[in-house]
């Protein structure tokens, strides 16, 4: 299948109050009587990408998208107060209940894969299956891969990493990077704060795709400041706090979803999330299938990743329909 599905407009959108002053934006598209699938975006802080509905056959799926705490159209924007991993998991359950959905197919990429796995581990009875892209298990080694000077990203992109860690006190470690940026994103000096936010965002942007268009990801690129602020602030917040998870929590509890079908799609040259994480998850999860995409990195904007995700939703829809007979 060498195409994406046509984009569609949503038939419903709105907000759901989830407590502590947080209000989440959500929307529904496709077939109201179709298979409910929840798109869980990455980041933390990325918000819904504009083409996320193109991975689903709108005739077969009831496509639900939402923006996590502090992201996109959710309010308050880029807020770290009362914003942790488990509260985000509870938000998924609150949205499921609000929309009167008995069971969800979870579709999560990067940080979205983390939340999808955690929701499935806690609310197993409400999950029909998982489609995961760019797996992030939130272990120390996963954070080091992205932030540490010994990580693969820093080793392969030394000139970009050098700019990223500019002014970080030595010795440079993942913790030192997080501590520095945590202070910078809270700085009262607008110039320092905006420069730090942009450097964090540029680092991720440079790593996200195997090949970037000319000029994208360099110091001259202009990015929407609200997106830069959300992504950099919330990623730094979660990574600084070890994603609010015990070390190796997902793998140590994966047996709870051993009966649930899952598809794992991971770019071989993913510089943000380790390919090893996808392989390790697959080995521990008996009902999973793993597809390592040979000519891709991390982003869904890479054609081979997009096509693989479309095949995965098509195959999963057939499996769910046959299982319900």
Q: Yes or no: say if 141 and 274 are a contact pair by the CB < 8 Å rule.
A: yes
pLDDT score of 96: 98
Q: Is 123 exposed, middle or buried (0-12, 13-18, 19+ CB in 10 A)?
A: middle
From 160, 270, 288, 317, active-site residue: 270
Q: Which tokens is 213 given?
A: 């268009």
Beta-strand pair 288-293/262-267:
parallel
110 is catalytic: yes
Mean pLDDT score, 156-164: 94
- Beta bridge mates, 265: 133, 291
**Percent share of the chain, pLDDT over 90:** 89
pLDDT score of 216: 54
Q: Does residue 318 register a pLDDT over 90?
A: yes
Q: Does residue 305 register a pLDDT over 70?
A: yes
Q: Does residue 183 register a pLDDT over 80?
A: yes
Q: Yes or no: say if 301 and 209 are a contact pair by the CB < 8 Å rule.
A: yes
Domain range annotation of the chain: 10-139+246-323, 140-243
pLDDT score of 209: 84
Rg, Å, the chain Cα set: 19
Running DSSP on this structure, what letter comes out for residue 193?
Answer: H
Residue appearing with tokens 């959300």: 230
Q: Which tokens is 272 given?
A: 């943000």
Q: Which helix (H) or strand (E) holds 263?
A: strand 262-267
**CATH code for the structural domain at 10-139+246-323:** 3.40.50.1820
Count of C-beta atoms within a 10 Å radius of residue 265: 27
pLDDT score of 75: 97
From 237, 266, 298, 299, active-site residue: 298
From 58, 110, 174, 317, active-site residue: 110
pLDDT score of 219: 52
Mean pLDDT score, 196-223: 76
Q: Does residue 268 register a pLDDT over 70?
A: yes
pLDDT score of 222: 63
Q: Does residue 264 register a pLDDT over 70?
A: yes
- Mean pLDDT score of the chain, rounded to an integer? 94
190 is catalytic: no
Q: Does residue 8 register a pLDDT over 80?
A: yes
Can the peptide bond before residue 139 be classed as cis, meaning omega within 30 degrees of 0? no
Helix (H, G, I), strand (E, B) or coil at 215: coil
Beta-strand pair 61-66/22-30:
antiparallel
Mean pLDDT score, 29-51: 96
pLDDT score of 213: 60
Q: Which pLDDT band, with edges at 50, 70 and 90, does 220 fall under?
A: very low
Q: Does residue 215 register a pLDDT over 70?
A: no
Helix 140-147 × helix 225-240 angle, to 10°: 140
Cα 305 from chain centroid (whole Å): 14
Alpha-helical regions (H) of 139-274: 140-147, 152-156, 158-164, 174-185, 190-208, 225-240, 249-253
């Amino acid at each position: 299948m060498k195409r994406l599905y046509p984009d569609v407009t949503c038939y419903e959108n709105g907000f759901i109050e989830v407590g502590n002053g947080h209000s989440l934006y959500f929307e529904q598209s496709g077939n109201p009587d179709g298979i409910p699938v929840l798109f869980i975006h990455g980041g933390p802080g990325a918000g819904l990408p504009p083409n996320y509905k193109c991975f689903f056959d709108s005739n077969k799926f009831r496509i639900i998208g939402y923006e996590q705490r502090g992201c996109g159209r959710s309010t308050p924007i880029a807020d770290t107060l009362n914003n942790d991993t488990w509260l985000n998991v509870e938000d998924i359950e609150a949205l499921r209940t609000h929309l009167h959905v008995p069971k969800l197919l979870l579709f999560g990429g990067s940080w979205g894969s983390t939340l999808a796995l955690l929701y499935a581990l806690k609310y197993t009875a409400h999950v029909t299956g998982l489609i995961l892209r760019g797996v992030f298990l939130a272990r120390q080694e996963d954070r080091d891969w992205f932030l540490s000077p010994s990580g693969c990203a820093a080793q392969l992109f030394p000139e970009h990493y050098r700019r990223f860690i500019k002014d970080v006190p030595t010795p440079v470690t993942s913790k030192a990077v997080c501590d520095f940026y945590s202070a910078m994103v809270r700085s009262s000096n607008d110039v320092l704060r905006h420069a730090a936010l942009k450097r964090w965002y540029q680092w991720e942007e440079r790593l996200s795709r195997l090949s970037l268009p000319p000029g994208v990801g360099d110091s001259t690129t202009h990015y929407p400041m609200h997106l830069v602020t959300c992504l950099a602030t919330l990623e730094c917040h979660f990574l600084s706090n070890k994603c609010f998870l015990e070390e190796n929590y997902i793998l140590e509890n994966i047996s709870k979803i051993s009966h649930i079908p899952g598809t794992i799609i991971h770019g071989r040259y993913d510089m943000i999330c380790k390919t090893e994480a996808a392989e390790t998850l697959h080995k521990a999860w008996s009902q999973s299938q793993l597809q390592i995409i040979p000519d891709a990195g991390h982003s869904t904007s890479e054609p081979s990743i997009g096509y693989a995700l479309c095949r995965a939703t098509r195959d999963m829809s057939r499996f769910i329909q046959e299982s319900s007979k």
